[in-house]
A = this chain, B = another copy of it.
Amino acid sequence: MSESTRYSKRTEGVTGSAIRELFKLTARPGVISFGGGNPSPAALPDGIVADISRELVASNGKVLLQYGMTEGLPSLREALVPYAEKEFGIRADVSGILPVTGSTQAFNLLLDAYTDPGDVILTENPTFLGATQAMRLHELRVVPVDSDDKGLRMDALEDAILKYRPRMLYTIPTFQNPTGVTLPTERRRRIAELAEKYDILVAEDDPYHSLRYCGESLPTIKSFDKAGKIAFMGSFSKVISPGLRVGFLICDDAKLMRKCVICKQSDDLHTANLNQAIVEAYLRRDLLAPHVAATCQRYGDQMRCMLDALETMEGVQKFTRPEGGLFIFAWLREGVNATDQLMKAVEKGVAYVPGTYFYPDGGHDNTLRLNFSNADIPTIRRGMALLADALKA
């Protein structure tokens, strides 16, 4: 190809997830990684999925291996109705639920269907890097809104709404990525009110919802939605398996949902049937609840182990104390650069993600994100000791 070849404007300057690139650098043999957002291997139900897969294909393979509907496997959509109500307090109609190829796709479809280049989208600050990348590929103007130790600040949010007239707000209200912070009930209710008042579509991303290790479950923003302005995105990646790529979108705006379906038709025609059927079996056979309970036990222990290590760690100024999810966010001393420190840490044998990547406008160089779901307790102990060493050096 000639050097002058022109590509699409939307991909100009979008370089791919910096985290995924960083992982390639830090993926040295023997390095303990607190970097990803991967489930524990022990939490991946390979035995059950192996048996279910065979059973499903043997008994219903002529349907599962055939083309399916873009709108999703009808029996999974039906099973998602009571699940949405029980788990998320969301009353949805079958027609308001769209199974998708991971909740990543749900967000991409919403951006396809609802936004035009140049539109403003508000986000938490910091926020999930993958979502920011999707916004950039849609040529949106990303405006981060100040957060405090409970998540989005409502005064800052309303100020930003008045100032920028955004089309959308993207938020992860529960055990946020990267901070682990959970937005209080009153702010959730308020977001639903602001969405109605100012005609803003809220993309509520709630993949960690079921992974709570202490405290009370909070109502979703969507459960306060009276005006059909909240689009809810759920995922089975954290509670069954990310490799299966099944999530779902719930949306009361029939026209918006129809547009999402049309866009999905061009994206991948439909989500793989077998993968949808495996999730359906988890829901219908009551396999999900006990699996999630066991996973919460495991991850809760791992989180407490990591928090204990942080308590006494020199060089760590502050850190979040999540009640669930996969991540802890930490602040090194002012002036210390977590990206520089990462290289030292990797040499010691441990890796994390510098927090700066999660801030749409950069900066906050002294922050870092630690994942506690992937490594077991002995590994977390060893890794945190290595990290303490690296930060001392």
| Chain A interface (Cβ < 8 Å from any Cβ of B) | 1-2, 5, 7-11, 14-17, 20, 36-39, 41, 44-47, 49-51, 53-58, 61-68, 70, 101-102, 104-105, 108, 112-116, 130, 133-134, 137, 199, 227-229, 237, 240-245, 252-253, 255-256, 258-259, 261-263, 265-275
Contacts and interface: CB of A to CB of B under 8 A. Distances in A.
20 contacts: A1-B252, A1-B255, A5-B256, A7-B259, A11-B113, A20-B70, A20-B265, A46-B57, A46-B65, A50-B58, A51-B54, A64-B243, A66-B242, A68-B243, A104-B267, A112-B137, A137-B266, A243-B274, A268-B268, A275-B275
Summarize A's interface: helix, strand, loop or mixed: helix
A259 B8 contact: yes
| Copy count, this protein chain | 2
A5 B253 contact: yes
Contact of A65 (B44, B64, B102, B112): B44
Contact of A101 (B61, B66, B227, B268): B268
B130 A266 contact: yes
B245 A268 contact: yes
Top 9 A-B residue pairs of the complex, sorted by shortest distance between their CB atoms? A46-B61, A54-B54, A65-B241, A50-B57, A53-B53, A50-B58, A243-B273, A134-B266, A44-B65
Contact of A66 (B54, B112, B199, B241): B241
A57 B55 CA distance: 13
